[in-house]
Structure 1
């Protein structure tokens, strides 16, 4: 059986919140860049200037800025994802100390649940729900509204975002680019809301574990 001992999640929690904040900033940058594409494509679609005229460099610049913003957004999401999973594994181990029998998924699913097809649709949420319940200082049956809303927005952001990115890449007219940029901006807004809720989730769950560790004696189960 893997080692099970209580370790403070405070430092990892702060690092994770910082990473989520950077991801949110990247979402805001993508939203701003998306407005540039939307306006430039709108002007082209309305015939404000010929495709080869003075408006074309503006449209190209808008597309370039949007591509750079998208790259930064992807990098921020990747880095944030790595840090979030490390934090989640830490609080999952702590929760096993609090309540060894209160988990429906093995601790390995705190990592594997994000990458295994199909399971990634609900395993991470289940892991977090179990950790949340085990970490509640008051005991009983805590509410799961924050987790459920965050998870719904996360799934929507990931799946819709992929579809909208394909829509943008396949656009071949000003009207298509304008429509795709509008849809991408909506997906970025959902991702921004998911990041904000994730920050709240990390802060609350980290604080819950700290409070439970300080107010109740916790003994790790024997190894064997």
Structure 2
């Protein structure tokens, strides 16, 4: 059999996983974080306004025993601010997960290694008790290290995660059990812990945006480097 026949019968090489565009997802995630930070700044302004107004003579909104007095105009506006802030934060979380999913998929395509954490943990890892203290950071770190095993993890990842955990543990942070009326009552009696939680969450959003920019830039450069080699699916 001739060399030409052997070449003709050889199977085509199996293409590797396609790389996915990541810059657009990064921009959306950063924009979502900016809006979420703005929402928490507005929330902090309302905390200050409530503290300066002082608690009405009729007492807190939640009177206990299932009884609630009518809200003042300022208290009612805080309910609206809180609701809008919650919706914006949810959209920000979805945009962040889209970016993280793309970063993770591209890391698999560039390194040829399977992610350390399964796809289910990409979403559940944020809400499962105890494991949510390290798995989300682990997913981000694994996506970067699998592509750049010889580099140190950017310090901004650790700063982001420390501030995120502080936001979770805050007295009125990202996840808390108090109702909006209970938060209003706390603003009347002790606003400083609320403001501290607000500052931490805004700082966490800022460092998250910087982390997204840092990791996206590094991965995009590696994608650009592999483009001349004919890797499939690389967006121009």
Same fold (TM over 0.5): yes
Asked if the contact 1:168/1:180 (under 8 Å) is kept, the reply is no
* Alignment partner of 1:69 is 2:75: no
Asked if the contact 2:163/2:201 (under 8 Å) is kept, the reply is yes
- TM-score, with normalisation over the residues of structure 2? 0.74
After superposition, the C-alpha distances for 1:37-82 in whole angstroms (9 at most, x for unaligned) are 11112xx5xxxxx726xxxxxx923322222221111111111111
> SS in structure 1 opposite 2:191?
helix
* Alignment partner of 1:106 is 2:141: no
Contiguous gaps of at least 5 residues in structure 2: 1-15, 59-70
Contiguous gaps of at least 5 residues in structure 1: 45-49, 53-58
| Pairing partner for 1:204 from 205, 214, 218 | 214
| Pairing partner for 1:189 from 199, 205, 229 | 199
| Pairing partner for 1:51 from 42, 47, 57 | 57
Following superposition, the deviation at residue 109 of structure 1 comes to 2.3
Separation of aligned partners in 2, 1:118 and 1:135: 28
- TM-score, with normalisation over the residues of structure 1? 0.78
| Pairing partner for 1:142 from 143, 152, 176 | 152
Residue 33 of structure 2 corresponds to which residue in structure 1? 20
Compare CA radii of gyration and give the structure with the larger one: 2
Asked if the contact 1:171/1:180 (under 8 Å) is kept, the reply is no
- Bigger helix fraction: 1
After superposition, the C-alpha distances for 1:121-140 in whole angstroms (9 at most, x for unaligned) are 2111101001122344xx51
CA distance 1:141–1:179, shift in 2 (3 Å)? farther
> SS in structure 2 opposite 1:108?
helix
Output the aligned Cα RMSD.
Answer: 2.7
CA distance 1:167–1:79, shift in 2 (3 Å)? closer
